[in-house]
Structure 1
Amino acid sequence: MSEQTIALVTGANKGIGYEIAAGLGALGTTVGIGARDPRRGEEAAAKLRADGVDAFFVPLDVTDDESVASAAALVEERFGRLDVLVNNAGIAGEWPTAPSAATPAVLGKVLDTNVIGVVRVTNAMVPLLRRSARPRIVNQSSHLSSLTLQTSPEVDFGDVDGVYMPSKTFLNAVTVQYAKELTGIKINACCPGYVATDFNGFQGHETPADGAKIAVRLATLDDDGPTGGLFDNAGTVPW
């Protein structure tokens, strides 16, 4: 009998993160619900358990070193390893913000969650992932991150933005470098699509469940699956 798969999803108390946890849980995975707010995190985990998912709350603020260290310690104490890490937590900041209007404070806040937070959590969890027989990391990116699409005359991403979009481009670059270093761990970035969440004022045309599909697929890749790539539900997205 194979070991139970253990996953941790950051920012999982609502939206796409919640649906990623639900999707993994539907496959029989034990899922840690990473969230900053204890009440919302506990409520999300309880709701998932009511739906038959083996879910547990993990207090986790990706911008806080102590919180991240405590989360890693909790997973280690309870399971001794981690099989799947989904770095889903992210913020838009004051989106869109033109580059000429971006202040160091605004840029720093977005980067601290969208990039530094991913590095902070990933580095804390790598020792646990190394104990897994099939470790997977998924970083939540965006089509807006693609320099190829940003510079294509056929693609219109709307207003110019010098904070959120570059933060996800930075995340893509970090993902590639992790994939080169962590050769025993499959690590990819994903684009959920234009999903209706509070992130965009519920303007998207896809559901959170739709947006979660690609992350779930990358989190459960076969051993011959890709690493170091950017993907959406249709396939490979150009960097």
Structure 2
Amino acid sequence: MTDAEERELEALMRRAYGPGADIERDPQALQRLRDLQEARRPSVTIEPGAVEVLDAGASVPVISVSAQPEPEPEPEADPWWERVVERVSRLRRSTVLIALGALALAAVLVVALVLVQRVQTDPLQTGATQVARLAVDEGFEIPSILRSGPNGDVPAYAFEVFHGLRSVVSTGGIFASGTPSDCLVVLYESDARQPDSTSFSGPLLGECAAGGFPASVQFVAGADSFGEELVEAYPDETAFLFVYDSDNNEVVVFAS
């Protein structure tokens, strides 16, 4: 429509809908209003060549119309059984975590009990404190003189060095008398480095087990020049007790 036709349409609409409407008494003006309103309606465009074939020789034009986007469907609520499965899964995960925590706590308790049991009390009830547990030293060659038997062929065990002192346990040995039993000797590491030696030179302390009493050796550090290296780690006049723990094959050291 032209600008003049737009102005004409506005004037006719005022005569039709405005105050003092009189267009009903003017048939020509009423028809002109209808014509202009019809001309003002938007026309529908048909894309050239866009047809949908229905059958041979027949076609229908496809009218392009801007389609409104379809609303997205709202998510359906989870079925009740899916919610139940999810809750059960959460419970199972919580149960697994609780079970793992219980196992970890049990392991800690077991280790703690083992450690407590490994700390022996003072066998003589003198208030001594356990300061070391000496394990077997497989790499040390024990002098034959410290073994029992005519050729020193009875098994014996050497233990880790404790401040320069070496502990050796054998069945019988140079301190044995009567029934063979476990015998413990404590000597300087530096005096026991000849595995084929049948003689010995240097301070040596030893005792054997008797009945239910374990093999043990006791002395005061520095007394008679024995345990001089211990004096550097412990005050002078500190007493030590070496006890053979046959159940664990270890030598337990107490200090008082």
Q: Which has the higher strand share?
A: 2
Q: Is the radius of gyration larger for structure 1 or structure 2? A: 2
TM-score under structure 1 normalisation?
0.21
Structure with higher RCO (Cα < 8 A, 6+ apart): 1
